[in-house]
Structure 1
C-alpha cells in the first residue's frame, strides 16, 4: 500500500492538512499524521484542534512513499525549526521518494536545499526571488519538478492533493477521486 507521512506542527493550516488527509485517503493511500511534539493533539492556525495518528518520534525511522508538509503560520516556522524534519526530508528524497509542500511550507524545502534549480510554487512572499535566485518561481496552483510537488495555498489544496494521487497512483485513480468530489 502507498504510504504518505504528513507531519502536523502547532499552527499548521488546517484547511490544507485536513484536505490532504481526506483526499489522499479517498484514493486508498495510507496517510500517517504525526505530531512534532510528544502530544498527539495540536492546535492549528485558526484554533481547530487536530489529533495526529502518532508522534514524529514514533515514525521518524519508518519508510514512506511520500512526505507532505502542510503550510500555515506559525506551523511552517515550527516545521522549519525542527531539525528532524530537515533530516527526514533529505533522507526520503535521497532515497527516491516524493516530497510535497504547500503554502509557506516550500520554505522548509528551500532551507533543506531541496529546491535549488527547481521550479516551485508557494504562498506569495514566502520565498522572495531576489533572496532565492537559484529557484524558478511559478504562479501555477501546483508545480511538479523531479519528485518535488509544491503548491500555493489553502485554495489550491484540493488540486495539490489530486496531483499527489496522480503521481503516487495513476491518472485513473485521480479521475475517480476527482469525480467523487464533484469539482466540476
Structure 2
C-alpha cells in the first residue's frame, strides 16, 4: 500500500528539518506533498528558498497517512496561526493518521488541542508556553503523535516516521544508504 505524507511549509520554517523530512520520506518510497501556506516560494529561516509542490489549499481536503510539521520559530508561529492547518491536523488526528512535529512545531499541536494528556518534546520554551512539560528524549512517540527536539534530531525524527509508516526494514534500508555509523541508529 502506498503511503502519503503532507509537509506544510510556512515562511520562516527551519529548512534543515523540512528538507530532511521530505528527503528521507521520499527515499522510503512515501509520496510526500510539500505544500506552502500560500502559492509560491517559501523563504526558510536561514534564507534558503524552498519551492513547494503545491499550495495548501490545493490539497487541504485530501487524506494523508502522515502530516509532519517542520519547526523554526517563525514558521511554527505561522502554522499555529493558520486555521486551515489546525483544522487539517484535528481532522487527520480524528481519522487515525500519524501527526508529527519537530523543533518549535509541537506548539502547533498543543494549539490544536492534540497534546492534552500526552508526552511530547520540542525545542526548549515552545511547549512550556502552552502548559506542556517537554520530555527529554530526542524523539517521542505517544499514540499517533510523534515529536522531536530540533534540527539536530531531524534525521532521527524522519527515520522514526519511516518506521511507523513502512516498518523497521524500510527504515534500516534508508538509514544504510545515509552511511550513519551504527551507534547513531535512530530506532
Same topology, TM > 0.5? yes
Partner of 2:185: none
Kindly state the Cα deviation for residue 9 of structure 1 after the two structures are TM-superposed.
0.2
Partner of 2:58: 58
Which 5+ residue runs of structure 2 have no aligned equivalent?
182-187
Q: State the number of aligned residues.
A: 180
RMSD of Structure 2 on Structure 1 (CA): 1.0
Which 5+ residue runs of structure 1 have no aligned equivalent?
none
CA distance in 2, matches of 1:40, 1:8: 11
TM-score, structure 1 normalization: 0.95
CA distance in 2, matches of 1:60, 1:99: 15
**1:148 maps onto 2:145 in alignment:** yes
Q: Map 1:21-100 onto structure 2 (within 5 A).
A: 21-37=22-38, 39-100=39-100
Task: Please say if residues 40 and 53 of structure 1, whose CA atoms lie closer than 8 Å, have aligned partners that are also in contact.
Answer: no
Partner of 2:110: 110
CA distance in 1, matches of 2:170, 2:98: 18
CA distance in 2, matches of 1:178, 1:36: 30
Task: Please say if residues 117 and 136 of structure 1, whose CA atoms lie closer than 8 Å, have aligned partners that are also in contact.
Answer: no
Q: Map 1:168-183 onto structure 2 (within 5 A).
A: 168-183=165-180
Kindly state the Cα deviation for residue 125 of structure 1 after the two structures are TM-superposed.
1.2
